[in-house]
Amino acid sequence: MCDVNVHNRGEVIKLSAEKGEILFNLLREHGINVYSPCGGKGTCGKCKVYVKGQGTETSCQYYVAESIEVILPDQLEARILTTQHQLTLELPADPGTVQHLSNRPFGIAIDLGTTTLVSYLVNLSNGTLLETHSMLNPQISFGADVISRIHYAASTPAGLKEMHDAIISAINYQVDHFRHLIHCSGNDLVKITVAGNNTMLHLLLGEDPSSMGQAPYLPMFTDKQKRKGKELGLHVHPESEITLLPSVSAFVGADIVAGIGSIRPTGNYKKYLFMDLGTNGELALVTPDSVRCCATAAGPVFEGASISCGMGGVAGAIAEFSSQGYRVIGDELPIGLCGSGLVDVIAFLLESRRIDNTGLLSGRFEIVPESHSGTGKAIFLDQPDVRQFQLAKSAIASGIIILLKQAGILFEDLDALFLAGGFGNYLNVESAVKTGLIPLQMKDKVVSLGNTAGTGAMLALRSELFSNVLYDILRRTKHIELSEDEDFPVQFAVNMDF
């Protein structure tokens, strides 16, 4: 028997499981509900739980093999999963002729982020999502943001190859993990689709991104790219189809296009803002006739970089903070502060008047004393951290205003503000409004959709028809260069204050 300790809303429930028992069934038998629109059949991939030491798992496809600690999604995460399922585009299964390369065809959808690499294993015979696996992008050692990595590629003789090799090794690590999980050979992995920002896509292919680091910021490619598994040295079928989804520009990538494409068109959301606040801070204003998009110079603040005790949204990160305490991802001792936790801390300090409207912080603020930290060092926020946040939130707020101005649209005309990415999973809307990150006018229209880039990559993996959706978006899209708008400098200065 295996011990299964389930963490649910501060309570630990102790269960026992037979080896090989499906986790979802075990939880359901003991009256523990996990959101699953498909009823545990493996088709929706929404019954997510966090297994300590292993990461996020799809519980209806997870076989208990040893004693584990399981953390259930909180109410906010569960609500996001529900909303994401309700608003995700549905397409007929059509993975293409590549599925005939194997009698047991599997595919992998990849969200290739600057900070995090997330992969989704899918059975191409029936479209079932088998497992999700995430890890930090190892390229982070070459720079926290895309500009740093572009500079490294341009200034270091072997820089491009180093970063290309690092991401290929990381993908192969995930591929090998999946192969071990389903007991298959590499020849059964016949299709991979990748969404990500354009710098990450260039580095994946070993293409020089240097031209994106200086005006006029022209990438080597923005259209869809196709390669074979053998060309990239991946541990998959040599003739497998590797597809990189299309981008808009140097800094509005395939993650944004795929994310917008993943949203099911409904009569309730005809005009909306789409925000993905990762290392770039990409925005899109979507109407039935057009898509206006831009990239803001938000820097990697929301990924935890450039913050004294910052980190990505992974286990050990403080994701929520209030006067009542804090919540840590993975229910572990805190080791740092991720983007959503940063927003909460800033909002708290504004409300308690420790930060004034100009951003002046009265002394260093200790969030967690060293005695309660997982590293033995205090977790804190200082004045430079506040300034970094101000720069990022001003860039976002100013970008939104410019998009609306150019479209001739008012906040009142918008039906929703869709938050995408892992950051949006934990973001407290009240805190975001207090800090000026989200406009007050949109407070009651915010909808968090989770990892839409990953959802889009899975749609592309499961159905060839998704290409038509993406190209329709690209046909309607206009890229806005904020630096060329005469109002942007004024808006940026005004929005710096709280």
Rounded percentage of the chain residues whose pLDDT exceeds 90: 69
Q: Which of 465, 97, 455 is nearest to 254 (CA)?
A: 455
User: Residue 318: CB partners within 8 Å, gap ≥ 6?
Assistant: 326, 327, 328, 334, 336, 337, 338, 341, 367, 368, 379
**Rounded-to-integer distance, Cα 191 and Cα 399, Å:** 37
**Rounded-to-integer distance, Cα 293 and Cα 305, Å:** 24
Amino acid at 401: I
Phi then psi for residue 293, to 5 deg, are -135, 160
Phi then psi for residue 322, to 5 deg, are -155, 180
Q: Which CATH architecture is the domain 97-255 placed in?
A: 2-Layer Sandwich (3.30)
Torsion of CA 476, 479, 485, 489, to 10 degrees: 130
User: Residue 326: CB partners within 8 Å, gap ≥ 6?
Assistant: 318, 320, 334, 341, 367, 368
Q: Which of 300, 373, 365 is nearest to 338 (CA)?
A: 300
Q: How far is CA 304 from CA 88, 289, 328, 490, in A?
A: 28, 36, 14, 27
User: What is the CB neighbour count within 10 angstroms for residue 188?
Assistant: 21
Rounded percentage of the chain residues whose pLDDT exceeds 70: 97
> Are the beta carbons of 276 and 294 closer than 8 angstroms?
no
> What's the pLDDT at 424?
74
> What's the pLDDT at 75?
60
What's the per-residue H, E or C state across 121-152? Answer: EEECCCCEEEEEEEEECHHHHHCCCHHHHHHH
Q: Which of 414, 422, 406, 411 is nearest to 480 (CA)?
A: 406
Torsion of CA 51, 56, 61, 65, to 10 degrees: -30
**Rounded-to-integer distance, Cα 474 and Cα 319, Å:** 34
**Rounded-to-integer distance, Cα 483 and Cα 489, Å:** 8
121 forms bridges with which residues in the sheet? Answer: 108, 131
19 or 79: whose pLDDT is higher? 19
> Are the beta carbons of 125 and 104 closer than 8 angstroms?
yes
Q: How far is CA 296 from CA 56, 169, 251, 277, 289, in A?
A: 30, 30, 9, 9, 23
* 472 three-state secondary structure: helix
- Mean pLDDT along residues 286-310: 87
Q: Is the pLDDT of residue 249 over 90?
A: yes
Give one DSSP letter per residue of 238-306, joined into a string. TT-EEEEPP-SSSSS-HHHHHHHHTBPP-TT-SSEEEEE-SSS-EEEEE-SS-EEEEE---TTGGGTTT
**Third-level CATH fold of 2-73:** Ubiquitin-like (UB roll) (3.10.20)
> What's the pLDDT at 468?
97
User: What is the CB neighbour count within 10 angstroms for residue 393?
Assistant: 26
Residues constituting the chain: 498
> What's the pLDDT at 487?
93
Report pLDDT digits (tens) over 26-78.
998 888 888 777 777 777 777 888 888 887 788 888 899 999 999 887 665 66
Domain boundaries along the sequence of the chain: 2-73, 97-255, 309-381
489 or 301: whose pLDDT is higher? 489
What's the per-residue H, E or C state across 291-308? Answer: EEEEECCCCCHHHCCCCC
Report pLDDT digits (tens) over 339-381.
999 999 999 999 999 999 999 998 899 999 999 999 999 999 9
Report pLDDT digits (tens) over 92-127.
999 999 999 999 999 999 999 988 899 999 999 999
